[in-house]
Structure 1
Amino acid sequence: MNDLIRGAANAALETRIAFIVELARRLHQYGTTAARLEIAIAGAAQRLALVAEVWSSPTAIIISFADVSGGEEGLAQVTQVMRLPPGDVNLARMCEADAIADRAIAGELDLREGFRLLRALGQPETRWARAGVVGSYGLSAASMEALFLHSSWADLVVAGAIGLVIGLITILAAIRPRLAVASDAISAMVATAGAILVSAFVVPLAIKSVVLASLIVLVPGMSLTTAVREISSQHLVSGVARMGGAIATLLKLTFGTVAASQLCAAFGVTARNYVLPPLPHWMDWPSLLMGAIGFAILFRAAWRDWPVVAGAVGVGYLATRWGGLLSQAIPGAPVGVFLGGLLLGAMANLYARFLHRPGAVVREPGIILLVPGSVGFRSVSYLFERDTTLGMDSFILLLTLLISLVAGLLFGDLLVSPRRSL
């Protein structure tokens, strides 16, 4: 095996650099955070007898390469600058890229063949895959309505239907750059107008709950959490940039909801305000299963990883419930969020250590129920409505939840040290 590794390290300099650059491109595209990407690329380069200085941000990667034969004081021989769109989590392709890199660096796969396989991962998704993503938006919206908002059957059905429409808008935005810029605001307008129209002419709804559930996938809770994690790990440029992007998304979503509400009011369309009976408590468990399937599709997990994703989502949900019971003894303490982050961080590292696969398969789907994106959305909505008291209270709660979740993930890394960068 050592001879094989030395063979990969002795390949032509351009071949080694091309492989590392393509690996960095794919990991960025599939949602790897700046801190983990930089560690992964620097480690892969070192095993290929290269010294790599890596700088990653949500929209760019800069890597300077030098051959180790030049010594520690050798200047960089090649600097590669890549301008990239923000990545989106794709667990199946992230795992494939990780496996290709392991095989190529170990010498089981020629570097040129590894480069070709990495390049092939960039092919567009099939129609069936895009249809599945649209369905995942509906499943996620309906499950959020049942699990956390506990509204009526009508709210669940309408939230799921609006979620499907928003999923279709998101898929169209991926292939239409002009639509992509305004897709968040358009989705919020469609969700709000649709909920108000259904409530006015078909069946009364809890408007705010339906709108929040249908937009839950677009609310940048994951981006806010990742931004705080990157800032806490001293990746300041990437963290601040990601935070700015998340705030911009919140502003566009809030603008869309306010604009649609005012437009309906201008035409005299008002929602009926009497409340239907809430969903029965036994719906929590079918809704959790429905949400787990939706998140598995949303994060593009491979079929073999669906049970792992479902288990991670279940741990995240149960942590919030147990934490809610504990917080009754300590009012105001976000125990569930911290506990969930701690458990999921440790579980992700155990999964990566023993199965030799990216811990993101556990970590990313697991924390989706813990991220406080909905709190951020409500905070900005209150500020748009000039209710500064509720807006600032929600903002402080947002900060508390973010800090608790990130602290839980950091303590999880201390409890079980990560062996793999992803």
Structure 2
Amino acid sequence: MSRPFPQQAYAARIAFMVELAEHLHAYGTTSPRLEGALVQVAERLGLECEPSASPTAMVLSFSDPMRPPGDSDTTRVIRMPPGETDLSRLCDVDRIAEEVLAGDIDVAAGHAALRALDRPAGKRGNALQVLGFSLAAAGVAGLLRLPWLEIALTAAIGLVIGMLHKAARTRPRLREAGDAVSAMVAAAITILVAAWVVPLNLNTVIISALIVLMPGLALTNAINELTSQHLMSGTARFAGAVATMIMLTVGTMIALGAAELVGIEPQVRAWRPQPDWVEWCALALASFAFAVLFRAKPRDYWLVMVSAVGAYLVSRLAGGAWGSEVGIFLAALLVTVAGNGYARWAKRPGAVVRVPGIILMVPGSSSVRTLMTSIQQQDLVAGQDAALAVVNILLAIVAGLIFGNLALPARRNL
């Protein structure tokens, strides 16, 4: 090959590829895109790479095409926890990889630059993440037009959930039960307020407070991976999303059961009194909150917010005209085309546009509501309509992603 990479140490190129794979996985890249990106980079580095990625593990097989078959075969097995979306560091990984491939830095320097991204978030970053939980909860409550008191309560519970989530990062036992504990705390606070202060939209307040923990994005990625024939990864991701739904539901049911045992009866009402302008303000707040939670670079906040707001408006307006599923399909299609176009034009990951664009459409809250309704009423039929709505939303989003990629293929896999 004419490129200079084969002259660099074979082990150094493999080390760079492994580090690249670990970081792409850690920052929320789905398996099809991760594997595609690795194959592209390996080819340009003068390597043959056969990756197999799942939400919790990767197997990377390397060989040097310049050597006899079997002489240089190397396999790495990597066990990792599921990744979390981090748009800022994903952009940094993409930039480092491009600099290596362009020859601006050598493979060793690229490896060191990737390792440098592992630094923990500072106090300001942690505080922003905790605040993001509160803002996202308040934004979703506003989108649902809940009363002011319930919006404020949801924001306060979201703040508590954010602090629990941060504490769980350094406490393994709490991390294992974090979703159930968070749901139990959210439900307990809501029940006490509903019993002793004012009647509430009980389930809606609980779900809004827990919105950041809802597995809607994981469910969407799982179905997308399954339709892309990444069966092992899609099945594992789907199982993880279902486990999260179960944990959230279990925590909520424990709080409701404990309240019933001690004689606390929450007062429930269904009241959505807010005017239209509250919904639009809440949309801006929610889009900003997800820019924070997805750890976008400050210069990209406006792009994340425009993507989230634009997709929501398309799904809302088109859904009002032709049905909600059609609106979600069109929004997902346009977001995918916009993300791929952004990647081509700006030479940066399209995930900066694509992920925020679908986040307000994913069916996380609907899926948890389905389980809660079925368990509360001890009747599977009661949750059938909600379950069907979840399936319709998933199918509409995945169809939009598929046809969006068909309409404008991505220049790069990220």
The aligned residue for residue 287 of structure 2 is 292
Report the CA distance between 1:9 and its aligned residue: 3.5
**Aligned AA (1:239):** G
**Aligned AA (1:403):** L
The aligned residue for residue 270 of structure 1 is 265
The aligned residue for residue 393 of structure 1 is 385
**Aligned AA (1:263):** A
Q: How do 1:19-168 residues align onto structure 2 when only pairs under 5 Å count?
A: 19-70=16-67, 73-74=69-70, 77-147=73-143, 149-168=144-163
Which region of structure 1 is more displaced relative to structure 2, 83-92 or 198-207? 198-207
Deviations 1:175-221 (A, max 9, x none): 11110110100111111110111122223321111101001111100
Answer yes or no: is 1:404 the counterpart of 2:396: yes
Q: Give the whole-Å Cα distance in 2 for the aligned partners of 1:76 and 1:53.
A: 14
The answer on whether the counterparts of 1:196 and 1:271 sit within 8 Å (CA) in structure 2 is: yes
Q: Give the whole-Å Cα distance in 2 for the aligned partners of 1:276 and 1:338.
A: 30
**Aligned AA (2:10):** L
The answer on whether the counterparts of 1:323 and 1:334 sit within 8 Å (CA) in structure 2 is: no
The aligned residue for residue 375 of structure 1 is 366
The answer on whether the counterparts of 1:64 and 1:76 sit within 8 Å (CA) in structure 2 is: no
Report the CA distance between 1:307 and its aligned residue: 0.8
Percent identity at matched positions? 43
Computed over aligned residues only, the root mean square deviation of the Cα atoms, in angstroms, reads 1.5
Q: Give the whole-Å Cα distance in 2 for the aligned partners of 1:76 and 1:391.
A: 55
Report the CA distance between 1:370 and its aligned residue: 0.8
Report the CA distance between 1:273 and its aligned residue: 3.3
Which of residues 185, 202, 209 in structure 2 aligns to 1:207? 202
Q: Give the whole-Å Cα distance in 2 for the aligned partners of 1:9 and 1:399.
A: 48
Q: Give the whole-Å Cα distance in 2 for the aligned partners of 1:11 and 1:238.
A: 33
Q: Give the whole-Å Cα distance in 2 for the aligned partners of 1:375 and 1:76.
A: 50
Partner-residue secondary structure (3-state), 1:69? coil
Which region of structure 1 is more displaced relative to structure 2, 40-49 or 265-274? 265-274
Report the CA distance between 1:319 and its aligned residue: 1.9
**Aligned AA (1:24):** A
The answer on whether the counterparts of 1:338 and 1:407 sit within 8 Å (CA) in structure 2 is: yes
Deviations 1:26-54 (A, max 9, x none): 00000000000001011101100000000
Report the CA distance between 1:75 and its aligned residue: 6.1
Partner-residue secondary structure (3-state), 1:18? helix
Partner-residue secondary structure (3-state), 1:114? helix
Deviations 1:205-245 (A, max 9, x none): 21111101001111100000000000000000000000000
Answer yes or no: is 1:348 the counterpart of 2:339: yes
**Aligned AA (2:195):** A
Report the CA distance between 1:272 and its aligned residue: 2.4
The aligned residue for residue 172 of structure 1 is 167
Deviations 1:91-125 (A, max 9, x none): 00000001001101111012111101100111111
Which region of structure 1 is more displaced relative to structure 2, 215-224 or 393-402? 393-402
Distance change >3 Å, CA 99–CA 9, structure 1 → 2:
farther
Report the CA distance between 1:275 and its aligned residue: 5.8
The answer on whether the counterparts of 1:153 and 1:278 sit within 8 Å (CA) in structure 2 is: no
Report the CA distance between 1:271 and its aligned residue: 1.8
Which region of structure 1 is more displaced relative to structure 2, 110-119 or 87-96? 110-119
The aligned residue for residue 10 of structure 2 is 13
Partner-residue secondary structure (3-state), 1:378? helix
Q: Give the whole-Å Cα distance in 2 for the aligned partners of 1:176 and 1:374.
A: 27
Q: Give the whole-Å Cα distance in 1 for the aligned partners of 2:7 and 2:302.
A: 41
The answer on whether the counterparts of 1:8 and 1:106 sit within 8 Å (CA) in structure 2 is: no
The answer on whether the counterparts of 1:230 and 1:238 sit within 8 Å (CA) in structure 2 is: yes
Which of residues 231, 235, 250 in structure 2 aligns to 1:240? 235
**Aligned AA (1:131):** A
Report the CA distance between 1:400 and its aligned residue: 1.5
TM-score normalised by structure 1 residue count: 0.95
Q: How do 1:329-344 residues align onto structure 2 when only pairs under 5 Å count?
A: 334-344=325-335
The answer on whether the counterparts of 2:216 and 2:362 sit within 8 Å (CA) in structure 1 is: yes
Report the CA distance between 1:130 and its aligned residue: 0.9
Q: Give the whole-Å Cα distance in 2 for the aligned partners of 1:129 and 1:415.
A: 37
**Aligned AA (1:357):** R
Partner-residue secondary structure (3-state), 1:68? coil
